[in-house]
Amino acid sequence: MKIKSLTFYFILILLSTNSVILGQNISITTQNDSLSQEYLLPIGAHVITKDFLIGKTHYEKDSTFVLIDKEHTVLNPIYGRIQKLTYDAYLKMYADALKDSIKLTVTSASRNYWVQKHIWDVKWNKYKDIGKNRVLHILKYSSMPGISRHHWGTDMDFNGTSSSYWSSSNGKRTYNWLKNNAHKYGFFQPYTLKSNSNRTGFNEEKWHWSYAPLSDIYTKAYFDIIKINDAKNDIKGFSGDQFAPELNIINLYVLGITNF
Ligand SMILES: [Zn+2]
């Protein structure tokens, strides 16, 4: 009898779930400090911990992450890993895009906290002469360590970040294809144009696409676990980290996205 009712509820979950998630859900309880919260994650997804959300993950030692095949990326294998569920969805999108003569080459995948810290510190030194706008200047396109969606293995950049490519006819055709089709595979553009919208944080990134069946859940967990008014305790350990709380970095940057 118990098994029957469990099966019934499992079928209910299947019926009520977005088809992109493929109906294979499991309820995972995470515990973090004093907070315990339930999230519904697809089977095979990386479980939620505070360290994972702020990028303190060694992808090469983590079985939920896979190496992107050389055919699909220009990245050095050290940086060429994403979650397997993201990769499976990307491969389907890549194959269909190719049928329309669109090539979606991965030019950025997962970057952990320490890689992001290196990128941040290099820029921090480079812009030391621009005064108090230094942090905001770097934040136009580069994330502070701890707040990047690239930490999660759910987000990728396609075909580079050069504005000349994205304004070329090839770049425009690729962007239009992504806008019209990426959602069919679960991908969306979190950093859309900021004018004419309430979006805050990073500038528009036509190259950056996120796998919603995972990243939506991590965004929600981030909101719950990395406490909004307590950035000073969690977003730290790099040059200029004292600005994270006063810039309202979590509210404006992590949550300042266009949703799926
Ligand atoms: Zn990106």
Write out pLDDT tens, residues 113-157. Answer: 999 999 999 999 999 888 678 999 999 888 999 999 999 999 999
Residue 224 has pLDDT above 50, yes or no: yes
Q: For residue 119, how far is its CA from the centre of ligand 1 (angstroms)?
A: 13
Measured CA to CA, the distance from residue 28 to residue 41 in angstroms comes to 7
Q: pTM for this structure?
A: 0.85
Task: Decide if 188 contacts 7 (C-beta within 8 A).
Answer: no
Report CA(12)–ligand 1 centroid distance (Å).
36
For ligand 1, the distance from its centroid to the CA atom of residue 15, given in whole angstroms, is 33
Provide the 3-class DSSP secondary structure of residue 37: strand
Could you give the dihedral angle defined by the CA atoms of residues 92, 216, 153 and 112, in that order, rounded to the nearest 10 degrees?
A: 160
**Does the structure show a pLDDT above 70 at 180?**
yes
Distance 124 CA to ligand 1 centre (A): 19
Is the pLDDT at 19 greater than 50? The verdict is no
What is the pLDDT confidence band of residue 228, given thresholds at 50, 70 and 90?
Answer: low
Average pLDDT over residues 31-46: 69
User: What is the distance in A from the centroid of ligand 1 to the CA of 42?
Assistant: 23
Q: Quick check: helix, strand or coil at residue 51? A: helix
DSSP reduced 3-state for 156: strand
**Angle, in degrees to the nearest 10, between helices 84-99 and 212-225:** 140
Q: What pLDDT band is residue 8 in, cutting at 50, 70 and 90?
A: very low
pLDDT at residue 141, as a whole number: 83
CATH classification number, 49-254, choose in 3.30.1380.10, 1.10.760.10, 3.90.950.10, 3.40.50.300: 3.30.1380.10
